[in-house]
Structure 1
Amino acid sequence: MDIDADLRAFLSQFVKVGELAATMRPEGSSALLADVLTEHLGRPAGEMATVTKEIVGYRFADYDVAFELLAGPDVVAIGIGGGEHRHHASLSDLVGSPWTNTPVGQVDWADVAVGADQTRRVVALGVRLFHFHDQPVAVLTRRNSRVHGNGVGVIEVLCPDSQTASDLLAEATELGTQRSVLRGNVVSLDLMGYEAEGDGYRFHARPDVPVEAVVLPEGALERVRGHVLGVAEHAETLRRYGQHLKRGILLYGPPGTGKTHTVRHLISAATHHTVILLSGQTLHYVRQASTMARHLQPAIVVLEDCDLVAMDREIGPTGQPLLFDLLDALDGLDSDTDVAFVLTTNRVDVLEEALTQRPGRVDLAVEIPPPDRAARRQLLELYRGDIGFSSEALDEVARLSDARTASFFKELIRRAVLYAAEEGVEPADAHLLTALDTLFSDQETLSRNLVSGFLDPTPGLD
């Protein structure tokens, strides 16, 4: 396009005015970010290449721990001033463009969960200045933020030597894995979090379920514990003789028989294991959970109601059916990886042969059936606690409640206590028997079935 001489001269002067305005700042205003970084790095910050790494939400605290350790006590942390663009612009844009004129500001901090009842104050947006391998480095960390549309966190490193920047990121990754805040904890992966737990994961308190609180058929609990915990106890011996450590166990039976309760006991006993819980829609994250478990071993991955996986023919996040994601997760781990997959199902009949009949995927299947009479008596003794029901009344309830499950007896005791509370007296045998009659009544059929997982036969139907 032809431009006359006068217009060309005007545009040239306009550009110079803009460049001059970008370099000027009011007297007494904050130092410019580019100037501070340049002074620390010994070279113009805008001329250096940035080494960048994206990090998912559940790893952000790990990197904060790693950089705190690598930086040491002499670290200087500075913030980034300016408007909302600082949450989106890269570090190279913040220091390299003559138009940004980004000032130093206050560090943005955030409290993130690092345990069921613990948080850690992390640098949500800021720059750490320190030396690594005798080289000056500037490390920007930016936490993922739904408010600002950032789906993942970002780490950006400036250093006169780009290889040193890459080495720093590699060492921070390794150190962050070793010192991971997830290690040894119980976590679940969430489709979406809530407030401080909005990073796609949630911590849970480790349950306290002792052996005596688990009522299963004779020998069943010992088999389950031996397969999950016994292998872990003898991991080094198994490795020395070239035996595989990864394993899978399937707990199956009707609803309410104690599968989840058994899993809670395993989690309670596996105090040194990282436990990753998946259920419902989060079963889609099985591949991600498998990767986490490999890095944080010894680990247990719990997949509740895994029959949903076998029945799901929709394409998952990896572009293949969800069942294949599960099979790949079970197959993809190295044989010496100390990871146990614990699967539960109410519908063992719908599980694929590929899932249940290939060693290395599921090595052990244990049925958790409705309790027999002796087990029902144990459950009543367990759930009554210090309530003074007589042995005769408990024996009678155990005899009459054939094919009922553990959840049925929990509800039975609760109702007996409620009836006594309504009368303003201590729970007694009469309240227990009344509660049993009520649960057995025709008016309570649906409630009874939902609580116990036991379906009464319907006349006229096969």
Structure 2
Amino acid sequence: MTDPKLDPSTFGASFQAFLEQMAAQAPAQEPEIRRRIREHLGGDPAQMPVVSEQFAKYEHPNLHLALQAYLGQPEREAELFGITSTHEMFTARLSQIAAPRSAMPGAGIDVGPVEYVNLPLDQGRVIACVRSGVHLVRRGEQRLVVYVSASAGWRESLTLEVMAAERAEAEAVLAEVRNTMRARSIYRGHVISLEQSQQGTIDVRFHRLPTIGKDEIILPQGLLERIERQAVRFAELRGELRAMGRHLKRGMLLHGPPGTGKTLTAMYLAGQMPDRTVILLTGRGMGLIEQSCALARLLEPATVILEDVDLVAEERTRQCAGSNAVLFELLNQMDGLSDDADILFILTTNRPDILEPALAARPGRIDQALEVPLPDEGCRRRLFELYGRGLELRLSQLDAFVARTKGVSAAFLRELLRKAALFAADEGAGRVVEDRHIDTALRELAVEGGKLTQSLLGASAISE
């Protein structure tokens, strides 16, 4: 007969208490994982110190490679095994693994398969990294336990834990791994950007910049030389400048109308300094200025490129009631870098007037502002030659076309030659581009395309 006073919740609580009491009275069976750790250390692991450090998710490949380098040193041996738990979302700490079973009732932690995860490297390569695994390390009389774990929650985190007889031994391991990660970072010397996922973790993306020759940078006489001196030549002479007590941190602002080649020039500069890490700040990475600057500091010599900072300023002005949050954050981060940090900041903008008040309020952050203007007559002639490569230009009216395109950008001239090539191909003329093709293309872009097309191609001032 059922007791009416014993409801299901009361019965469940009583039954759980009964099971726990039975488990406590039963002979404790040491888990295999704890036995291995205890026998390896030669003492009770529950009494030994554990030192841990957390790393960003994007540092996982660096941590894996640094740990492999540490374990691969002469006379050092290591046994690797994985961990299994009855709770799928539970990530055990090393101190919990080493504790007696009674300290973690129901956790079900024991030896299991090593978990690996494939992570991206540059040029489409991947590397299989230990996601969860325990290393039993020995070198002579020294015994260590090194545990790598990545949590699987909403915000994935990466943790390295070291257990040793003395805390100083564990701290030394972490310091060595940390130094190796910095010296051998997979991001050093590459072009990268940071993005924030929906889960809040930061990912690093590799990029491949196009190869840009010096003859593709069409600027007024002497301008490219001044830009190169501030960026490339400065980097080449950093040793001499540092010896003379000159600071290496510097900022350059490239400003001018849209389509004049500011971004192309920045990419060209990056290609001329292949020994530097390049960090691109665009799109989803705009909110990660602090993290980007920290990474630049870690990977110096480095170049940070922030494109179209005026668009960011306008957007943040609308969002923050007059406060240009991104630009001020960048200036704050520049302030936080030591003067001898070899970090070059390249900013591009179409609207220097938006930035000037903020930059003027923080003098010295941008060392040089260089205008990249609309191409003059000589530059337009050179641009016809540049964008005419691969075509057979038979132009008897080149001088007239150069004059008619006064006030256009380099981007407009590139599209002009492309559209002229389209008209020639449509006629069956192959690569031969003649005056009529240029004339038709110019009329379509400058007249029939309307003001919007002119604006999109940087030709608002065209006289046509």
TM (norm. structure 2) is 0.85
Stretch moving more, 237-246 or 394-403: 394-403
Pick aligned residue for 1:449 from 450, 455, 459: 455
> Is contact 1:250-1:344 (8 Å) kept?
yes
Task: For 2:140 and 2:301, locate their aligned partners in 1 and report how far apart those are by CA, in whole Å.
Answer: 32
Pick aligned residue for 1:212 from 206, 210, 215: 215
Pick aligned residue for 1:378 from 378, 382, 385: 382
Gaps of 5+ in 1: 1-8, 26-30, 458-462
> Is contact 1:258-1:406 (8 Å) kept?
yes
Secondary structure of 1:93's partner?
Answer: helix
Pick aligned residue for 2:125 from 115, 118, 124: 118
Aligned counterpart, 1:295: 298
Q: Offset at 1:259? A: 0.4
From the superposition, tell whether residues 268 and 39 of structure 1 become closer, same or farther in structure 2 (CA, over 3 Å): same
Task: For 2:422 and 2:462, locate their aligned partners in 1 and report how far apart those are by CA, in whole Å.
Answer: 26
Letter in 1 for 2:379: A
From the superposition, tell whether residues 325 and 453 of structure 1 become closer, same or farther in structure 2 (CA, over 3 Å): farther
Identity among equivalent positions (%) equals: 34
Matches within 5 A, 1:304-343: 304-308=307-311, 310-311=313-314, 312-313=316-317, 321-343=325-347
Aligned counterpart, 1:6: none
Matches within 5 A, 1:213-292: 213-292=216-295
From the superposition, tell whether residues 137 and 395 of structure 1 become closer, same or farther in structure 2 (CA, over 3 Å): farther
TM (norm. structure 1) is 0.85
Aligned counterpart, 1:141: 148
Matches within 5 A, 1:26-65: 32-65=32-65
Letter in 1 for 2:51: V
Task: For 1:314 and 1:448, locate their aligned partners in 2 and report how far apart those are by CA, in whole Å.
Answer: 27
Matches within 5 A, 1:13-92: 14-19=19-24, 32-72=32-72, 74-85=77-88, 88-92=91-95
> Is contact 2:150-2:158 (8 Å) kept?
yes
> Is contact 2:132-2:147 (8 Å) kept?
yes
Deviation per residue, 1:11-52 (Å, 9 max, x gap): 987435325789569xxxxx7322222222223334434322
Stretch moving more, 228-237 or 247-256: 228-237
Task: For 1:224 and 1:369, locate their aligned partners in 2 and report how far apart those are by CA, in whole Å.
Answer: 14
Pick aligned residue for 1:431 from 416, 419, 437: 437
Q: Offset at 1:320? A: 10
After TM superposition, the runs of 4+ consecutive aligned structure 1 residues lying more than 6 A away are 9-13
Stretch moving more, 412-421 or 156-165: 412-421
Secondary structure of 2:391's partner?
Answer: coil
Structure 2 residue 137 is the aligned partner of structure 1 residue 130: yes
From the superposition, tell whether residues 453 and 55 of structure 1 become closer, same or farther in structure 2 (CA, over 3 Å): farther
Task: For 2:105 and 2:49, locate their aligned partners in 1 and report how far apart those are by CA, in whole Å.
Answer: 16
From the superposition, tell whether residues 394 and 369 of structure 1 become closer, same or farther in structure 2 (CA, over 3 Å): same
Task: For 1:385 and 1:153, locate their aligned partners in 2 and report how far apart those are by CA, in whole Å.
Answer: 51
From the superposition, tell whether residues 386 and 314 of structure 1 become closer, same or farther in structure 2 (CA, over 3 Å): closer
Stretch moving more, 342-351 or 397-406: 397-406
Task: For 1:135 and 1:119, locate their aligned partners in 2 and report how far apart those are by CA, in whole Å.
Answer: 34
Task: For 2:372 and 2:140, locate their aligned partners in 1 and report how far apart those are by CA, in whole Å.
Answer: 57
Supply the RMSD in Å over aligned alpha carbons: 3.0
Q: Offset at 1:394? A: 4.2
Gaps of 5+ in 2: 1-13
Secondary structure of 1:392's partner?
Answer: coil
Stretch moving more, 338-347 or 201-210: 201-210
> Is contact 1:115-1:203 (8 Å) kept?
yes
Pick aligned residue for 1:102 from 109, 128, 139: 109
Task: For 1:425 and 1:39, locate their aligned partners in 2 and report how far apart those are by CA, in whole Å.
Answer: 83
> Is contact 2:257-2:458 (8 Å) kept?
no
> Is contact 2:251-2:346 (8 Å) kept?
yes
> Is contact 2:78-2:135 (8 Å) kept?
yes
Secondary structure of 2:253's partner?
Answer: strand
Stretch moving more, 105-114 or 302-311: 302-311
